[in-house]
Amino acid sequence: MAKTTFYVCSPTQSKEKLFVVGDCVSLGQWLPHKAVQLHLHAELEDSQKVLPSILRREAAEYRILFLLYVDGTSGSAGSPLLYGDYGGSSCIQNGWLTCQSEIHLRLHSDALKSSKYSGFRVHCSAFRCMDDGSNVPIEDTMVAVLGDENPLHVAQTEEGTLINRDDYVEFSLQTCFTDSVAFCLTVRSDEGEFLGRVHLPPLKTNEGVTHAAIVSNDHHITGVLRVDHLIVRPLANHTSDMRVSYAQHWKQREEALHIGHRGSGNSFSKTSAKICENTLRSLQYAGDHGADLVEFDVHLSHDRVPIVYHDFNVCVAATEAANSAADQWLPVPIHSLTTAQMKALKFGHMSELGQFPKERSDDRSADLQLFTPLKEFLSTIDPLTGFNLEIKYCCREKSGSYEEGLEYFEERNSYLDCILENMLPFAKKRRILFSSFDPDICTLLALKQPTFPVFFLSLGKTLKYVPYLDPRGNDAFTAANFCRSRGLMGVVVHAEDILRDLTIIQKLKKQGLRVFSWGDDNNSPENLKLQQNHGVDGLIYDRIYENRGEGNIFKRSKKSENGTE
């Protein structure tokens, strides 16, 4: 066993401490709560070192990390390591929530209704409400403006953040005491005139919207401010470690990744795939015929089993009545059915509603069954076929109604926790990336786990689909700024937007994002080639087996390593 002293150059904030964690007992076996703290060195400027030196075996692997103390809680010797430097490249990324939660307050879409002011300024102060009636200030509230050139979360200025009518502004704070944190929002005109304050008591729900009065010093109501909030909770029943993190890791390749849409393709379009979508056979066939990754849709059954299916509704009938008349078929939300009911009932696709449905086989083989649990995909599909897991979450459309006419949908934290806790332990070494059309689901994915990268699906500017109420996905550049603000890997842009302006690809890549493309326009080989020539990183499309003669890139790489080609 050898002794090692770590010297690391890095500035730190007042509540940040520098630690080292690694693959041996002395370094905590990759668990951040067992990491070894580095202490200030009296003789070396701006550097810190481990005291005492640690015992390690040869060739130990390690990572350097910051741990932030919230709410008042408490290499080899030689040239110092530069924090975040790896072979001359910057390799710093955000961590994940362990015991703390993160509170977001958002102001957007004319949050302050006023014909007098085109913009206004807001400063957000947070306080912890103590049992003795006192309030303890919390100084760590950050702010991000998605329309800014730099949309990252930064410290607030004393005069407050300027918010124009179309801006999307987010205040964020990490705390272990969400049930006792209150907020005071000081509101001024765009020219600095004091308008009043908004007081928000501790939040009782994980997400919601508040319309709060702006009260002046002489107790007059000068306006109403709409504030929506989101609390991101840590993942309760799964412990992530520091062994590997691909959240910001991307291997640049000369060719784009080819991703099979719903496996081998959409089964309910004018040019349907020859294998039923989102089934084991569809995904395996796509992986065997050139797909580098397969994209498929995951949501929860009523008995909280992550299952694979695209739509939020399905047509349902009792088996004995299914062939009698078209009006026997009724739309039923997927989240209202248990896995046992999914097996027992007769189903049709929503496109068949109001029609006499196609005959469906009740004894179709296991690899063609619909509503297959996610675990079976993880254990069955060739591990060299990567997964693009789209987390389905029912978004509100511009009208305020849920997609597909749903009346309610589960709160995001409990919904996503159930999916992740049933997926992460079985992921093994498979290449996986997450995506979702819901920006808050993307935020939760990035904050709850450090292992796999997250992409935000943008609807973009299109007449093909109803725009969402949340403005963050209705424009490719707004979507990109959201990705940057939350530290996501990249954005999945609607091909219609890209083909309208091919310069979008390089503009977004220059911002440090990876750019994928999705949509029906990608079913044209000419459009695929055009986008690839302009540097797109990933292409999602149907019937991949018709266009992909080269084969899965990871399988080709494996054969090359083994010397079999």
Rounded Cα distance, 322 and 517, in Å: 39
CATH architecture of 257-562: Alpha-Beta Barrel (3.20)
Structure-token match 């401490």, residue found: 17
* Choice between 58 and 170, residue whose per-residue pLDDT is larger: 170
Half-sphere exposure of 239 (CA within 13 A, CB side): 7
Q: For the residues 60-86, what does the mean pLDDT come to?
A: 52
Confidence of residue 85 (pLDDT cuts 50, 70, 90): very low
Rounded Cα distance, 295 and 264, in Å: 9
Q: Is the pLDDT of residue 359 over 50?
A: no
* Residue among 494, 503, 490, 501 nearest 537 (CA): 490
Confidence of residue 9 (pLDDT cuts 50, 70, 90): low
Q: For the residues 398-413, what does the mean pLDDT come to?
A: 94
Q: For residue 126, how many other CB atoms are within 10 A of its CB?
A: 21
pTM: 0.86
Rounded Cα distance, 262 and 282, in Å: 8
Q: For the residues 76-80, what does the mean pLDDT come to?
A: 40
Phi, psi of 269 (to 5 degrees): -110, 180
Average pLDDT, the chain: 85
Confidence of residue 8 (pLDDT cuts 50, 70, 90): low
The answer to whether 273 and 239 are in contact (CB under 8 A) is: no
Would you state the pLDDT for residue 147?
Answer: 92
Would you state the pLDDT for residue 165?
Answer: 86
DSSP string, 66-96: EEE--TT----SSSPEETTEETTEE------
Would you state the pLDDT for residue 115?
Answer: 65
142-145 and 16-22 strand pairing: unpaired
Q: Where are the domains of the chain?
A: 2-90, 101-232, 257-562
Q: For residue 507, how many other CB atoms are within 10 A of its CB?
A: 14
Would you state the pLDDT for residue 548?
Answer: 81
Would you state the pLDDT for residue 254?
Answer: 85
Q: Does residue 390 sit in helix, strand or coil?
A: strand
Q: How many residues does the chain have?
A: 565
Are 2-90 and 101-232 equal in CATH topology? yes
Structure-token match 């953040």, residue found: 161
Of 14-18, 192-196, 343-347, the range with the highest mean pLDDT is 192-196
User: Quick one: fold of 2-90?
Assistant: Immunoglobulin-like (2.60.40)
Would you state the pLDDT for residue 461?
Answer: 94
Q: For the residues 400-413, what does the mean pLDDT come to?
A: 94
Q: For the residues 490-501, what does the mean pLDDT come to?
A: 98
**485, containing H or E segment:** helix 476-486
Cα distances (Å, whole numbers) of residue 351 to 194, 209, 267, 357, 387: 55, 34, 11, 9, 27
Q: Is the pLDDT of residue 363 over 50?
A: no
Q: Is the pLDDT of residue 163 over 60?
A: yes
Q: Is the pLDDT of residue 38 over 80?
A: no
The answer to whether 121 and 196 are in contact (CB under 8 A) is: no
CATH class of 101-232: mainly beta
Tens digits of per-residue pLDDT, 235-274?
988 877 767 777 777 888 889 999 999 999 998 777 788 8
Percent above pLDDT 90 for the chain: 64
Would you state the pLDDT for residue 168?
Answer: 97
Q: For the residues 511-535, what does the mean pLDDT come to?
A: 97
Structure-token match 């975040």, residue found: 84
* Choice between 324 and 469, residue whose per-residue pLDDT is larger: 469
Would you state the pLDDT for residue 76?
Answer: 36
**164, containing H or E segment:** strand 161-164
Tens digits of per-residue pLDDT, 376-388?
999 999 999 999 9
Q: Largest Cα–Cα distance in the chain? A: 86
Q: Is the pLDDT of residue 155 over 70?
A: yes
Rounded Cα distance, 490 and 482, in Å: 10
Would you state the pLDDT for residue 67?
Answer: 61
Would you state the pLDDT for residue 11?
Answer: 61
Q: Is the pLDDT of residue 326 over 70?
A: no
> Per residue, what are the HEC states of 423-455?
CHHHCCCCCEEEEECCHHHHHHHHHHCCCCCEE
